[in-house]
A = this chain, B = another copy of it.
Amino acid sequence: MHREEIEVRTEGEGAIHDVTEELRGAIERAGIDDGMAHVFTPGATAGVTTIEFEPGCVADLQAALERMAPRNAVYEHNRRWGDGNGFSHVRAALLGPSISVPVAKGSPILGTWQQVILVDFDNKPRERRVVISVT
- Show the binding face of A for B, using Cβ within 8 Å: 1, 3, 34-36, 38, 40, 42-44, 49-52, 54-57, 59-61, 64, 67-69, 75-81, 86, 89-90, 92-102, 104, 109-111, 113-115, 117, 131, 133, 135
Contacts and interface: CB of A to CB of B under 8 A. Distances in A.
Contacts of A49: 93-94, 96-97
Nearest to A38: B100
Contacts of A100: 38, 40, 98, 100
Contacts of A56: 75-81, 86
B40 A102 contact: yes
A96 B93 contact: no
B101 A40 contact: yes
A53 B90 CA distance: 11
A111 B60 contact: no
Given A38-B100, A49-B94, A97-B101, 14 more contacts: A3-B104, A36-B135, A38-B102, A42-B114, A44-B50, A44-B51, A44-B57, A44-B115, A51-B93, A57-B86, A67-B68, A97-B114, A98-B99, A98-B100
B135 A89 contact: no
A102 B131 contact: yes
B36 A38 contact: yes
